[in-house]
Structure 1
Amino acid sequence: MADVRVRFAPSPTGPLHIGGARSALFNYLFAKKQGGRFILRIEDTDRDRSEKEFEKMIIESFAWLGIPPDEGPIEGGDFGPYRQSERIDSYKTLLKSLIEQRKIFFCPHVKDEQTDNKFQVHWCEFRDGGGESAESILRFKTPKDRVMIFHDLVKGEISTKTSAIGDFSVAKNIEAPLYNFANVVDDYAMQITHVLRGEDHIANTPKQMLLQEALGYSNPLYGHLPLILGPDRSKLSKRHGPTALLEYKARGYLPEALCNYLALLGWNPGTDQELLSLDELAAAFSLDKVQKSGAIFDITKLDWMNGEYIRRLPSTELAGLLMPHIKEAGFSVGEYSREKLMSIIELEQPRLKRLAEIGERVDFYFKRPAAPMELLRWKTMTDAKILASLDKSVDVLSGFSMDSVTKNNIEDSFLKAASEFSPDRGALLWPLRAALSGKRASPGPFEIIAILGRDESLARLNAAREIAAGKRKDN
């Protein structure tokens, strides 16, 4: 086999979609497994919709995911330029040649392929000439009564009758090639050996094969990947959740976790192992393990996997990743020493699913909460019992000096007090933790006290006592 060369060719008309990222990842893994080259090509011939900002976002997405192209607009290479807008002259030359050979023709029926958003087969009466005008587009003169057959590397043999294709458009005009034409020309010029893309491109393949035949090009090998579906088995869209790759970065997903998860959407390594590094994925990757049916995007599974990757991080590295999210939440971290901040992060590390959750999880360290009575209540405790519980916690904590408040020092005292206060230790420990954190779910009260310190912890307990005392008086 010739040296493997694959490409990912997005249009910069919007942010990189999560489905596109999965296709790019599969191309990257295949290239690495085969010792080949992974190329990024920007298909920006749609001048009205293409934007440099979206191209920048696509390139940023690749860098963040950790799958840099071997060749591309930034990296360069021997087969550039890697933007279609910089290759217009080569398209013009080939379009003129096909016009002269009467393989493509001018057609005035600009909108006949689209009626009510449904594809219409168009056989043009001007396919032998006479359709040229200022508004005419260029169409391929499709041979009738042929069957186009190719072996799909994922789905097996696929055949399409040309009667279902018709005379399809290839350019808006001589200087504005459309997707199928520019795609074929660039794949050949860049010596692409394998085209791996979403199965929504299957209908384009016979058209591209007809163009390759007309231009005297060989066919690359094609493999069409299953679509990513929402939980309702419809194509993944914004109604299912975020679809742009960089939204996942903003929400606090780690690139390693997202790559791992996307790789397992429609492919499996043939083992029970679920957590695999990029190198492990590349070593195990093969097209024969890509499934034929659509893959369900399960955000709960992604959250679990991201949490596993978060727990694997050294705490110092995690701190660097979390600090921007903590500051973005508006908290002033200056009041805490680095040691205290690291203690907060180490406490939350086992519980985090996404980096961006950190703000809502640690807010109580930076601003004093107001715990309502119903949060302070353990099971069926009366208001009087809640107040008594808080009084007991104040008494226990007041017995420690500021310097002696550590988790180990106070835990035994509080557990002993809890057993004395009630057969159910939660009667003391639940109101204590709720008063300190203002949350139903948080780290344990002893860990929180060790970070807040004695005085701040007492202030919070007394604030909760005032609420409980006022409620009791009202009753």
Structure 2
Amino acid sequence: MPDEREKFSLQEMVDHFDLSRVSLGGPIFDIEKLSWLNGQWLRELPVEEFASRLQTWALNPDYMMKIAPHVQGRVETFSQVAPLAGFFFAGGVTPDVKLFEHKKLSPDQVRQVMQLILWKLESLRQWEKERIMGSIQAVVEHLELKLRDAMPLMFAAITGQANSVSVTDAMEILGPDLTRFRLRQALDLLGGVSKKENKEWEKLLGAIA
């Protein structure tokens, strides 16, 4: 905004939009600042509207019906639902780094598997369970691994837990953006990917069917 305000309405943005002020550089998305800004708007809502929007966001019937079939057979009391399925209602998760310790794969191989799967998922045009599994399968087969070598890593990255509901079902329900975001978070937790690794692994990606 011309007056340097960081908080403004959509209409105010439209009214003051000036193409000459648009940077030609690559866009930078400051997640922390966006979260702070979102919090400013949330705290200004009337409490009734806040409660209504919360229900629409997390407790709407359509979303609950996607989750319920995967949870019902795994619980004995309703109090067990939140620990099992709480990750469905979060943006990011905070898995223990120990969940990524692998009996068969080195730490570098763990990051490689996860990065290759992330890239394969980013190329998906249709976000369906079968295609998600196909992407994972393509990576593990090319690396001469088994699904059981990769799936614990997916559980940790996507759910923040060692086990939960079917992780591919969870990925389908969470959607592509949140799934990819959590995989990136997990990779950052493990130290990220160097420029050299990125270049080498991109070549490897090109050979994966």
Q: Would you say same fold, with TM above 0.5? A: yes
**Of Structure 1 and Structure 2, which has the larger fraction of its residues in helix?**
2
Residue number among 61, 76, 79 corresponding to 1:353 in the alignment = 76
For residue 153 of structure 1, what is the aligned residue in structure 2? none
2:120 paired residue number: 396
- The CA deviation at 1:413 is 2.7
Aligned partner of 1:381: which letter?
Answer: L
Residue equivalent to 2:166: 444
Q: TM (normalized to structure 1)?
A: 0.28
Instruction: Determine which structure has the larger strand proportion and give its number.
Output: 1
* Cα 1:470–1:397 shift into 2, 3 Å: closer
CA–CA distance in structure 2, aligned partners of residues 410 and 339 of structure 1: 22
Aligned partners of 1:433, 1:375: CA distance in 2, in Å?
Answer: 9
User: What SS is found at the alignment partner of 2:190?
Assistant: helix
| Structure 2 SS opposite 1:447 | helix
Instruction: Quote the residue 2:111 is aligned against.
Output: 387
Residue in 1 that maps onto 2:29:
none
1:333 CA displacement: 4.7
Structure 1 residue matching 2:74: 3-state secondary structure: coil
Q: Which residue of structure 1 lines up, in the alignment, with residue 143 of structure 2?
A: 421
Moved over 6 A (4+): none
Aligned to 2:155: 433
Structure 2: runs of 5 or more not aligned: 1-53, 195-209
Q: Which residue of 1 aligns with 2:100?
A: 376
Distance 1:372 1:380 in 2: 19
Relative to structure 1, is the Cα distance of residues 340 and 408 closer, same or farther in structure 2, using a 3 angstrom cutoff? farther
Does the 8 A contact of 1:369 with 1:436 survive in 2?
yes
Q: CA deviation at 1:438?
A: 0.4
One-letter amino acid matched to 2:151: L
Question: Is the Cα contact below 8 Å between 2:117 and 2:135 reproduced in 1?
Answer: no
The DSSP-based 3-state class of the residue aligned with 2:111 is helix
CA contact (8 A) 2:155 2:163 kept: no
CA distance in 1, matches of 2:64, 2:166: 17
Matched, 1:405 2:127: yes
| Contact 1:370 1:438 survives alignment (8 Å) | yes
- Tell me the residue number matched to 2:190: 468
Q: Say whether the 8 Å CA contact 2:127–2:172 is kept in structure 1.
A: yes
User: Which residue is 1:343 aligned to?
Assistant: 66
Deviations 1:424-460 (A, max 9, x none): 2222222122100000121122101111100000000
User: Alpha-carbon deviations, 1:328-354, whole Å to 9, x = none?
Assistant: xxxx45325533211111111121121
Q: 1:434 to 1:422 in 2, by over 3 A?
A: farther
Contact 1:433–1:445 (CA under 8 A) maintained in structure 2: yes
Q: Distance in 2 between matches of 1:362 and 1:447?
A: 12
Q: Distance in 1 between matches of 2:114 and 2:97?
A: 12
Instruction: Label 1:407 to 1:471 Cα distance change in 2 as closer, same or farther (>3 A).
Output: closer
Name the larger-Rg structure: 1
| Aligned residues of 1:393 and 1:432 also touching (Cα < 8 A) | no
Q: Tell me how far apart the structure 1 counterparts of residues 170 and 153 of structure 2 sit (CA, whole Å).
A: 13
In 2: Cα distance, 1:431 partner to 1:449 partner:
13
Q: What value does the CA root-mean-square deviation take over the aligned residues? A: 2.2
The alignment of Structure 1 onto Structure 2 pairs a total of residues equal to 139
Amino acid at match of 2:182: R
Letter matched to residue 189 of structure 2: I
% identical aligned pairs: 17
1:58-457 → structure 2 map (5 Å cutoff):
332-336=54-58, 337-367=60-90, 368-401=92-125, 404-457=126-179
Q: Which has the higher contact order (CA 8 A, sep 6+)?
A: 2
- Distance in structure 2 (CA, Å) of the matches to 1:448 and 1:437: 8
Output the CA distance in 2 between the equivalents of 1:346 and 1:422. 34
